[in-house]
Amino acid sequence: MKESGKPAEVTNHAREEIMTITPEQLEAAIDGVLEARETHLAERPVAEIIRVLDRVSRRFLRIGDPIRAAAIEGLCESSGYSTQMADAVVDGMAVTWRTSALEALIREEFGDPRVLDMFVDRPGGESRLRVFGPRLTTHIFSGNVPGVSVISMVRALLVKSASLGKTARAEPIMAPLFVTALSEVDPGLGACLAVRHWRGGDEALDSIALSRAEAVIVYGSSGTVRSVRERAPAGRPFLGYGHRVSLGVVAREALASEAHGRVLAGDVSRAIAMFDQRGCVSPHVVYVEEGGEITLERWAFMLGEALERLRTELPRGPVTAEQAAEIRQVRARAEFGELAGNGHQLFASDGTDWTVVVDPDPTFSASCLNRTISLRPVQSLDDVFPVIAPAASVLQTIAFAGPERRLVPFATRAALLGASRITSFRRMPWPAPEWHHDGRPVLRDLVRWCDLENLPSHGPAPKGIMTGSNMPVTQPLERR
């Protein structure tokens, strides 16, 4: 296998997969994946599908593999990530397709993985169950976090569904590159996936993609999700993942010493830096409970130090002039507040690489991103909930740092408010494969269940059931 020039060659091949197409070409692509599904996927054991996906995962994880090199090169070009960031994103993404991760997901959702292959006895033995995935799942992808498109198609494969993916212009690489890698490892399974691109709002193409789907999965803004839901066929599975925000909470016990504070600052800095803060799991605000041994101002300085180290270890990608102006506005407001003596403090890099603002106003507000974070003091953890309540409808992940005895009471209230995931700052950027995305099952909501009730082998029919041998006899009507 030639190394010279191979990544660009693979990336160019992936780009060919997303050329804008005509309605006739889209129909043909759908026909192709449906035909391939009947031959290569519908009756394939799920354990075998997982083994193939694990082989693809290893190609993305293996240093020097042309597929991995093409993924890193493509992400740097399309998303503006640094090479180090693209490298971390590919690692974090591909590890979720390994055998252990996918088996854990299926066990979480179905218990017995055989239910995807055959009728399986229910406890008690009175009936059996089997699940059936949609023949075709249409996916509409967003471009803010690379790899989400691949995870969506992997989930569809696990329930033996063919896929049509509409790529986002902002991230046109990972989905077609995954199809390329899968086709090289297993041409039959690769033929069950089609990734195409067309302009948003093209009614003819949208209509074909939605009307022929037995399930629809959408990633994007809340407006995009709402628009697609209105046009998707009624009565079919629809999974919509719209706009979400995440935040962090630090209990006073997490700042009990300099050593604790530095470790926590390292974890928080990586949660902020990953995806350059563009992910739905990236924190916008960190609330810090007062009363720790380390002051908020001292810990803000530590966090700044940790973010400064990441300028070399995990460099931020370039920002637009508009994004840089937003960061400067945040800094200017903090500087004015500091001069006014109202409790603001600013810690910032040279240039716009990172910004930490201590803001005494606890009101939740979204960050301008690109490693810009506000630290907001609260007297107690109870004070967090009223200030984040206005964001409850879009709240997703909350990272928590504090003792176990305070975690469960906090998590209970956070879940009641609307959070669908409470985790540590270290795990914040990388949800587990079995995570209930936005609080819903990711596989069970796609499938159809069939109950096979055991039939009596002999003897009279159960009371209340009429069969051919025990139907009541009626007299013929008399002629009059």
Task: Supply 416's token pair.
Answer: 């009641």
Asked if pLDDT for residue 162 goes beyond 70, the answer is yes
Asked if pLDDT for residue 221 goes beyond 60, the answer is yes
340 exposure class (CB count in 10 Å sphere: 0-12, 13-18, 19+): exposed
Contacts of 214 (CB under 8 A, 6+ apart): 134, 135, 136, 137, 161, 236, 237
Contact 365, 285 (CB under 8 A): yes
Q: Which amino acid is located at 271 in the chain?
A: A
Tokens 């209230």 sit on residue = 413
Tell me what pLDDT residue 10 has.
Answer: 55
Model pTM?
A: 0.89
pLDDT, average across residues 253-261: 97
Look at phi and psi of residue 140 and say left if phi exceeds 0, alpha if psi is from -120 to 50, else beta: beta
Question: What string of DSSP letters covers 96-116?
Answer: GGSHHHHHHHHHHHHSSGGGG
Q: What is the pLDDT of residues 427-456, one digit of tens each?
A: 999 999 899 999 999 999 999 999 999 887
pLDDT, average across residues 8-14: 53
* Residues in a beta bridge with 131: 449
The SS3 assignment for 400 reads: strand
Tokens 């049509």 sit on residue = 164
Handedness of CA 53, 59, 60, 61 (dihedral sign): positive
Handedness of CA 217, 220, 223, 224 (dihedral sign): negative
Q: Which amino acid is located at 212 in the chain?
A: R
Confidence of residue 123 (pLDDT cuts 50, 70, 90): confident
Asked if pLDDT for residue 2 goes beyond 90, the answer is no
pLDDT, average across residues 179-190: 98
Confidence of residue 270 (pLDDT cuts 50, 70, 90): very high
Asked if pLDDT for residue 459 goes beyond 90, the answer is no
Check for a shared fold between 6-243+435-450 and 245-423: no
> Buried b / exposed e across 125-150, counting CB within 10 Å, b at 16+?
eeebbbbbbbbbbbbbbbbbbbbbbb
Tell me what pLDDT residue 7 has.
Answer: 59
Question: For residue 423, which of 243, 248, 245 has the smallest C-alpha distance?
Answer: 248
SS3 content of the chain, % helix, strand, coil (to 5): 50, 15, 35
Task: Supply 154's token pair.
Answer: 């992997």
pLDDT, average across residues 25-36: 98
Contact 133, 161 (CB under 8 A): yes
Q: Does domain 245-423 have CATH number 3.40.309.10?
A: yes
pLDDT above 90 coverage of the chain, percent: 85
pLDDT, average across residues 151-179: 94
Confidence of residue 20 (pLDDT cuts 50, 70, 90): low
Confidence of residue 147 (pLDDT cuts 50, 70, 90): confident
Domain edges within the chain: 6-243+435-450, 245-423
Task: Supply 276's token pair.
Answer: 């350059």
Contact 104, 433 (CB under 8 A): yes
Contact 63, 48 (CB under 8 A): no
- The superfamily (CATH) of domain 6-243+435-450 is Aldehyde Dehydrogenase; Chain A, domain 1 (3.40.605.10)
pLDDT, average across residues 284-297: 97
Phi/psi of residue 123, each to 5°? Answer: -55, 130
Confidence of residue 463 (pLDDT cuts 50, 70, 90): low
Contact 337, 343 (CB under 8 A): yes
